[in-house]
C-alpha cells in the first residue's frame, strides 16, 4: 500500500524536491508518513497553482485580463461598498463606486499586501494610504490575493506585464526548512508544522499538519510579504524560537522537536540562520521603502476619525463608571510595579491631541446621574505659542454664557448600565477585549434580544420587521471567527450567566451559515437599489453615444478646428495633420494670440459666426454633455458584472440553507419560497440591464472608431473633454455676441 502511494506521489515531483524530502527523512526531520504527506501537499500546491492560473486566464476571456470584485472598503469608521477592478490590460487597479472611477493605482504603486482575519486583507501603496478591504466571499479573497501576489512578485522581480499569466516564473528559494508555527487554541497553544521557504520578497508557509494532531488537515498556504518594508524579525528567550512581526500580525516560530532531538547542538545555529537571513531581506526592503518619497503612513486621518468616533460613542459609558474604576485602580496600584506594566504590554502610540478610546469597562451598577456634556475635540494651541498671540490677553470669563441652554443642547444621553443584580456581572467577558468593546457599543443601540436574532434572519425586508441594513452590516463585522466558535462551543453553562456581549456571540455561533445568511439579506436588498441606480446611468451613456453618432454640426466644428490648426502649423513650418485626438479640444483655450485676451477658441468662434453661424448651435445636438459626466462605461460594465456574480451567490446561498429534509418547518418553507420568487424577479431585471449594458458598450466602441480614438480610451475622460469644450465654446460665443 505504502509502496504504491510512493510511486503515485513522487514521480510527479521534480528530482530536486524528491531528494530534499528524502534527506529530511534521512536526517530524522520527518517520519516516512510525514514525508509522504509533504510530497502529496507539494504536488497539490503545484497543481492548485496551475489550475488557479488557468481558471483566471479563461474566466474573463471576453473583456481580456480584467477582474471585478465586490468589496467593502474601510474609511472613517465605516465600511463602504466598492468595486475593485484589477486590469492587466492597463496594469492598473481601479476603485469604482456606482460606475465612477474614484481612484486608480498603477501596478508599480503597489508596495505589498497582507492577509487578514476572516475576509479582510490590506493593500499597501507607495505614496498613498493603505487600503483596508473586506471581500464578500472567501473565494473572492483567494482570487484577489492570488492576483495581488502576481502583481507584487512582478514589481519586485522586474517581470514584464506580458508574463503575468504566461508560464510561471521560478523565484529562487534562498532558504527552506521545517518550522512549527504557534496558533492559539482555546485551552492551550497549538504548534502547526510548516515547510517554510524564504525568497527575496516573501516568506512562504506550506502547512504539513498539526503536531500530533489530525493528519487530515487541509493544505494551508500563507505568505508573509517582506516587500512592504514593515516586517522585522527577532529572537525569543528560548534558543529554539523566533518571531516575525508584520504591520498587522505576529508569527512565533520554533525549530520542530524532531529536528531538536536529532540535532540538539545545532538548534541555536538553525535559529541564528533563520533570523539572520530573514533579517537581511527585511532590512533590504526597509531601505527600499525609506527611499520612496511621499506619504506612506497609511491613513492617519482615518485613524483620527475612528478614534474620535469611538470616543464619542463610548464616553458616556466610561464616565458613568469612571468613579468606580478610579477606586479599583487605587486598590490594585500597589500590586503592580511600573517595570512590570511597561514590559508586559506596549500600548499603541497615539498622536498628541487625539484622545484614545476608553478601555472597555466591566458592567457596574448605575451611579448617580452627573451633569456631563459632549466633548469638543479641538486642536489646542501649544503653550509655547501662547505668548505674543491673541490668546495671551484673552479672558474667557468676561463672556457671558447661557450654560443651561448649552447643557440642554449638548448633554450626554443616559447610558443604561447592567444593574448589580443581573447574573451577567458574575462572569468576565470571554470575547477579545477590543472586539468586545466595539461590539458592546453597537449592542447599546441594537434593541433585540439574543434569542430573537435567528427569527429576524428569516425576514427579508426591514419594513416587515427585519433587521436594518446598518444592523446587518454591523453584525457582519462581528461574525465569530473559528477560534471564537471553538471557545463558545465549549461553554457548558447557562447563557444567562454570560455578559450580553457573550450571549450574542454564543447565539451567533449557534446559527448555521450565519455569514451566508447576512450576506444574502444584504445582497437581496442591495440588488434592486443598485439596478435602479445603474439603469439611468447606462441610459444616459447610450443617449450620449447616439448624439455623437448623429451630430453633423459637431463634425463640422471639428473640421473648422482642423482647418485652423493646419493653417497655423503650415505657416509655422510644421506638417499638416489629417485628424486630431479629441483631447486637443481642451487645448484651444490655452493657445493665446498676439493679444493675450484672444485665444484659439475665440478665433474658432469668430470664424464660425463669420461663415456658418448656424454651427454655433451645435451644443443643442449634444445636450447629454452639458453636465460633466460622472460614471464611466468601464465602471458601469464592472458594476453589472459584479451584480451577476452577486445574484449567483444568492442562488448558491439559497441552495445551501434550503432544508434538506421533507419535515421542513413552515417558516423555512415560506422563507425559501419568498426568496425563490425574488430571485426570479431579479434575474429578469438583471437580464434586461445586461442587454442595455451590451448595447452601451457596442455604441461606445463604434463611437471610438468614428472619432479615431483607441479602443481602451475611457469614456469618463473622453466625454469630459467634449463637455469641457462645449462649456468653453458657449462662454466664448457669449463673449463674441456681446
Q: In this model, does residue 717 exceed pLDDT 50?
A: yes
Q: In this model, does residue 63 exceed pLDDT 50?
A: no
Instruction: Out of 244-253, 397-406, 439-448, 532-541, pick the least confident.
Output: 397-406
For 667-708, the pLDDT digits (tens) are 888 888 888 899 999 999 999 999 999 999 999 999 988 888
**pLDDT at residue number 41:** 64
Alpha-carbon distance of 601 to 591, in angstroms, equals 8
**pLDDT at residue number 45:** 58
- Buried b / exposed e over 667-680, threshold 16 CB at 10 Å, is eeeebbebbeebbe
Q: In this model, does residue 465 exceed pLDDT 60?
A: yes
Alpha-carbon distance of 530 to 623, in angstroms, equals 26
Q: In this model, does residue 298 exceed pLDDT 80?
A: no
For 248-257, the pLDDT digits (tens) are 788 889 888 7
Contact present, 418 and 500 (Cβ < 8 Å): yes
**pLDDT at residue number 330:** 43
The DSSP output letter for 411 is B
First to last CA, the chain: 97
Contact present, 248 and 174 (Cβ < 8 Å): no
Rounded to 5 degrees, φ, ψ at 72 are -115, 125
For 477-506, the pLDDT digits (tens) are 888 888 888 888 888 888 888 888 999 999
More confident residue, 9 or 184: 184
C-alpha pair distances (Å), 715 with each of 88, 558, 704: 19, 19, 9
More confident residue, 594 or 151: 151
**Burial degree of 254 (CB within 10 A; 0-12, 13-18, 19+):** buried
Q: In this model, does residue 640 exceed pLDDT 90?
A: yes
**pLDDT at residue number 685:** 93
Q: In this model, does residue 543 exceed pLDDT 90?
A: yes
Give me the percent of the chain exceeding a pLDDT of 90: 12
Mean pLDDT taken over the chain: 74
**pLDDT at residue number 43:** 64
Residues 6 or more apart whose Cβ sits within 8 Å of residue 683: 647
Is the pTM of the predicted complex or chain greater than 0.75?
Answer: no
Instruction: Out of 447-461, 505-519, 651-665, pick the least confident.
Output: 651-665
Alpha-carbon distance of 519 to 116, in angstroms, equals 19
- The DSSP secondary structure of 324-374, one letter per residue, reads HHHHHHHHHGGGS-HHHHHHH--PPP--TT-PPPPPPPPP-PPPPP---B-
Region 183-205: mean pLDDT is: 75
**pLDDT at residue number 476:** 86
In the block, which residue shows the cell 463606486?
97
Q: In this model, does residue 526 exceed pLDDT 80?
A: yes
Please tell me whether residue 129 adopts helix, strand or coil conformation: strand
- Buried b / exposed e over 198-233, threshold 16 CB at 10 Å, is bbbbbbbbbbbbeeeeeeeeeeebebbbbbbbbbeb
Alpha-carbon distance of 190 to 124, in angstroms, equals 31
For 509-520, the pLDDT digits (tens) are 988 888 888 989
Rounded to 5 degrees, φ, ψ at 135 are -90, 165
Contact present, 519 and 476 (Cβ < 8 Å): yes
Amino acid at each position: 500500500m505504502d509502496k504504491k502511494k510512493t510511486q503515485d506521489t513522487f514521480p510527479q515531483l521534480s528530482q530536486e524536491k524528491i531528494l530534499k524530502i528524502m534527506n529530511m527523512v534521512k536526517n530524522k526531520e520527518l517520519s516516512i508518513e510525514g514525508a509522504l504527506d509533504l510530497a502529496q501537499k507539494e504536488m497539490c500546491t503545484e497543481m492548485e497553482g496551475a489550475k488557479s492560473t488557468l481558471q483566471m486566464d479563461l474566466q474573463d476571456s471576453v473583456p481580456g485580463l480584467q477582474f471585478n470584485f465586490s468589496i467593502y472598503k474601510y474609511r472613517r469608521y465605516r465600511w463602504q461598498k466598492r468595486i475593485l477592478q484589477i486590469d492587466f490590460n492597463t496594469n492598473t487597479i481601479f476603485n469604482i463606486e456606482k460606475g465612477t472611477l474614484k481612484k486608480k493605482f498603477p501596478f508599480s504603486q503597489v508596495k505589498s499586501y497582507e492577509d487578514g482575519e476572516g475576509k479582510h486583507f490590506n493593500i499597501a501603496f507607495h505614496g498613498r494610504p493603505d487600503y483596508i478591504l473586506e471581500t464578500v466571499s472567501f473565494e473572492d479573497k483567494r482570487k484577489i490575493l492570488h492576483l495581488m501576489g502576481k502583481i507584487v512578485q512582478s514589481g519586485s522581480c522586474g517581470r514584464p506585464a506580458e508574463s503575468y499569466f504566461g508560464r510561471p516564473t521560478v523565484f529562487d528559494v534562498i532558504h527552506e526548512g521545517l518550522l512549527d508555527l504557534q496558533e492559539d487554541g482555546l485551552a492551550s497553544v497549538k504548534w502547526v508544522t510548516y515547510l517554510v521557504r524564504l525568497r527575496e520578497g516573501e516568506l512562504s508557509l506550506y502547512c504539513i499538519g498539526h503536531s500530533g494532531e489530525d493528519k487530515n488537515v487541509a493544505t494551508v498556504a500563507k505568505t508573509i510579504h517582506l516587500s512592504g518594508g514593515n516586517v522585522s524579525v527577532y529572537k525569543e528567550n528560548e534558543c529554539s524560537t523566533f518571531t516575525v512581526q508584520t504591520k498587522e500580525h505576529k508569527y512565533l516560530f520554533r525549530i520542530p522537536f524532531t529536528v531538536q532531538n536529532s540535532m540538539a547542538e545545532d538548534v541555536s545555529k538553525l535559529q541564528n540562520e533563520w533570523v539572520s537571513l530573514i533579517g537581511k531581506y527585511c532590512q533590504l526592503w526597509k531601505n527600499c521603502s525609506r527611499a520612496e518619497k511621499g506619504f506612506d503612513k497609511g491613513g492617519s486621518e482615518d485613524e483620527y476619525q475612528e478614534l474620535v468616533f469611538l470616543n464619542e460613542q463610548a464616553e458616556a459609558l466610561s464616565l458613568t463608571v469612571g468613579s468606580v474604576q478610579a477606586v479599583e485602580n487605587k486598590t490594585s496600584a500597589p500590586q503592580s510595579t511600573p517595570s512590570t506594566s511597561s514590559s508586559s504590554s506596549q500600548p499603541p502610540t497615539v498622536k498628541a491631541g487625539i484622545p484614545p478610546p476608553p478601555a472597555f469597562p466591566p458592567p457596574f451598577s448605575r451611579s448617580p446621574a452627573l451633569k456631563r456634556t459632549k466633548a469638543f475635540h479641538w486642536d489646542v494651541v501649544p503653550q509655547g505659542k501662547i505668548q505674543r498671540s491673541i490668546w495671551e490677553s484673552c479672558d474667557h470669563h468676561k463672556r457671558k454664557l447661557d450654560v443651561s441652554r448649552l447643557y440642554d443642547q449638548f448633554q450626554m444621553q443616559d447610558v443604561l448600565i447592567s444593574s448589580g443584580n443581573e447574573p451577567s456581572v458574575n462572569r468576565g467577558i470571554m470575547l477579545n477585549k477590543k472586539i468586545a468593546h466595539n461590539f458592546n457599543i453597537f449592542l447599546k443601540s441594537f434593541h433585540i434580544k439574543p434569542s430573537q436574532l435567528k427569527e429576524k434572519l428569516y425576514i427579508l425586508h426591514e419594513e416587515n420587521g427585519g433587521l436594518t441594513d446598518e444592523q446587518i452590516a454591523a453584525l457582519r463585522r462581528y461574525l465569530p471567527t473559528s477560534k471564537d466558535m471553538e471557545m463558545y462551543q465549549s461553554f457548558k453553562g447557562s447563557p444567562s450567566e454570560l455578559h450580553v456581549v457573550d450571549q450574542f456571540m454564543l447565539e451567533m455561533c449557534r446559527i448555521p451559515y450565519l455569514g451566508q445568511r447576512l450576506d444574502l439579506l444584504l445582497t437581496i436588498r442591495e440588488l434592486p437599489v443598485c439596478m435602479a441606480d445603474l439603469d439611468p446611468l447606462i441610459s444616459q451613456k447610450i443617449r450620449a453615444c447616439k448624439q455623437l453618432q448623429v451630430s453633423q454640426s459637431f463634425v463640422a466644428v471639428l473640421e473648422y478646428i482642423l482647418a485652423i490648426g493646419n493653417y497655423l502649423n503650415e505657416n509655422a513650418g510644421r506638417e499638416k495633420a489629417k485628424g486630431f485626438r479629441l483631447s486637443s479640444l481642451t487645448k484651444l483655450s490655452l493657445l493665446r494670440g498676439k493679444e493675450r485676451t484672444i485665444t484659439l477658441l475665440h478665433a474658432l468662434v469668430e470664424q464660425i459666426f463669420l461663415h456658418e453661424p448656424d454651427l454655433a448651435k451645435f451644443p443643442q445636438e449634444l445636450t447629454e454633455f452639458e453636465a460633466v459626466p460622472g460614471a464611466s462605461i468601464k465602471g458601469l460594465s464592472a458594476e453589472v458584472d459584479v451584480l451577476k456574480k452577486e445574484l449567483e451567490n444568492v442562488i448558491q446561498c439559497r441552495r445551501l440553507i434550503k432544508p434538506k429534509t421533507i419535515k421542513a418547518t413552515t417558516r423555512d418553507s415560506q422563507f425559501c419560497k419568498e426568496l425563490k420568487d425574488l430571485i426570479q424577479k431579479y434575474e429578469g431585471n438583471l437580464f434586461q440591464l445586461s442587454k442595455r449594458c451590451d448595447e452601451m458598450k457596442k455604441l461606445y466602441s463604434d463611437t471610438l472608431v468614428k472619432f479615431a480614438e483607441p479602443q481602451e480610451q475611457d469614456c469618463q475622460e473622453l466625454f469630459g473633454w467634449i463637455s469641457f469644450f462645449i462649456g468653453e465654446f458657449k462662454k466664448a460665443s457669449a463673449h463674441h455676441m456681446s
